[in-house]
Amino acid sequence: MSLEPPTAVRPQPPAPGPVLGPRLTLPQPLLLQSGVALPSVTIAYQTYGTLNEAASNCVLLCHALTGDQFVAGTHPVTGRPGWWDDLVGPGRMIDTNRFFVVCTNVLGGCMGSTGPKELNPDTGRPWGLTFPVITIRDMVQAQAKLMDHLGVKQVFCVAGGSMGAMQVLEWAHRFPERVFCALPIAGSYRHSAQNIAFHEVGRQAIMADPDWCHGAYLDEDKIPKRGLAVARMAAHITYLSETALHRKFGRRLQGREALTYGFDADFQVESYLRHQGLTFVDRFDANSYLYITRAMDYFDLAAENGGVLAKAFDKTPVRFCLISFSSDWLFPTSESRAIAHALNAVAANVSFVEIDSDKGHDAFLLDEPEFHQTAQGFIDGAAAIRGLPRRSV
């Protein structure tokens, strides 16, 4: 029996460069929620479509924990379609013939935006753990600076799933006059104890890897691949429902007729998870994983508003559509319902739909026609109110 842990040498995430698309470097330090002033902040982003004269057709898409700015088209690093490629493009749900779509790599990320992998301008060495802890609010503040740069005073729609939904809610809370409508999907207004617990397992897996080098692995020319792969494997289970895992894999064996009585990946689900772990380390930075999970853990819109979530949205002019998925146990429907209740309490314009799906949390990235119809209806309705042209098909 072979007991090799995942150690195969693989290509590393690319250094930032033209391949990662346009980048904006802020002229001033960004004052973070922690109180730290972060210098030389760079935001890598992608745009699709054209901003209209009134600058009223911008759709800002916010990516999830391990996503990035490459929402549509072919990802330049992985060679795979962008995370919402099915939904973003000419004639698609987010129609690039009528919308100017923007997606940034979040602050703290590893696809070209300032994060622990980038160089600290004061030292010329990678930030590593000297990078300050950032929050969802910080990510949104950086996005707002980009919107300023692009000449967008009010975003037509801010949309995103999972951590993207947290950013959407933060946008609506922090900049209510700059958001026409908001589409938080499979999200939450605060990370739960179980959410924090799973993130902590992932962080401990990374930090337990000696190649993490107390965060200074780039200086040491090492990568904590094993720890990061384990973190990804644990997280990946939480993105799927038990039903989805059962349908996808059940107890089927992987390329063999019978159990081997060993520790090879006898079961397809084991092989799949190992693959998820292995491929993840090719495209993601371990320290970024620490920082971004921490940002999610820290997010709590209720606590920031005296424990009353409704206060976060008092007198909000934003039109909301909340979407959850029935089999999502990471950000269950009860979380979206709590947001809906808070919005109702301040008489906000809100619709809330739970999509019947057995695909788990990841449903927001998958082919779920009812979800797409719901989101499409909301966007088209809001666009009509906003006076934007109809969809091109």
Q: Which residues are catalytic?
A: 162, 328, 361
- In the list 27, 53, 79, 193, the residue contacting a second copy (rule: CB under 8 A) is 193
Residue found by looking up tokens 């990802």 in the block = 75
- Binding map of a second copy across residues 130-149, x = CB under 8 A, - = no contact: --xx----------------
Site for a second copy in 369-388 (CB under 8 A): none
Distance of CA 382 to the CA centre of its chain: 24
**Interacting span for a second copy (CB under 8 A) from 21-29, 58-66, 67-75, 269-277:** 269-277
> Which residues, 6+ apart, have CB-to-CB distance to 275 below 8 Å?
none
Instruction: Please tell me whether residue 8 binds a second copy under the rule CB under 8 A.
Output: no
Burial 119-135 (b: 16+ CB within 10 A, else e): ebeeeeebbbeebbbbb
Site for a second copy in 15-74 (CB under 8 A): 34, 36
Burial of 263 (0-12, 13-18, 19+ CB in 10 A): exposed
- In the list 77, 237, 338, 346, the residue contacting a second copy (rule: CB under 8 A) is 237
**Interacting span for a second copy (CB under 8 A) from 48-56, 76-84, 260-268, 337-345:** 260-268
- CB 236, CB 216: distance < 8 Å: no
- Binding map of a second copy across residues 203-232, x = CB under 8 A, - = no contact: xxx-xxxx---xx----------xx-xx--
- In the list 250, 256, 344, 366, the residue contacting a second copy (rule: CB under 8 A) is 250
- In the list 297, 304, 328, 362, the residue contacting a second copy (rule: CB under 8 A) is 297
Contacts 24+ apart (CB under 8 A), 211-217: 212/286, 214/129, 215/116, 215/128, 215/129, 215/287, 215/290, 216/128, 216/129, 217/128, 217/286, 217/287
Instruction: Supply the minimum distance, in Å, between the C-beta of residue 223 and a second copy.
Output: 13
- In the list 71, 233, 353, 365, the residue contacting a second copy (rule: CB under 8 A) is 233
HSE value, Cβ hemisphere, 13 Å, CA-based, for 352: 17
**Interacting span for a second copy (CB under 8 A) from 66-74, 92-100, 167-175, 191-199:** 191-199
Instruction: Supply the minimum distance, in Å, between the C-beta of residue 204 and a second copy.
Output: 5
- Which ranges of the chain would DSSP assign to H, the alpha helix? 136-150, 163-174, 193-208, 225-239, 242-248, 268-283, 286-298, 333-345, 369-386
Distance of CA 184 to the CA centre of its chain: 12
- Binding map of a second copy across residues 107-126, x = CB under 8 A, - = no contact: --------------------
- DSSP code, position 275: H
Tokens linked to 252: 């089927």
Instruction: Supply the minimum distance, in Å, between the C-beta of residue 62 and a second copy.
Output: 22
Q: How far apart are the C-alpha atoms of 153 and 144, rounded to whole Å?
A: 9
Closer to a second copy at the Cβ: 204 or 351? Answer: 204
Q: How far apart are the C-alpha atoms of 184 and 187, rounded to whole Å?
A: 6
Q: Applying CB under 8 A, which residues contact a second copy?
A: 1, 3, 5-6, 34, 36, 129, 132-133, 190-194, 196-198, 200-201, 203-205, 207-210, 214-215, 226-227, 229-230, 233-234, 237, 240, 242, 245-246, 248-251, 259, 261-263, 265-267, 269-270, 273-274, 277, 290, 294, 297-298, 300, 303, 329, 332
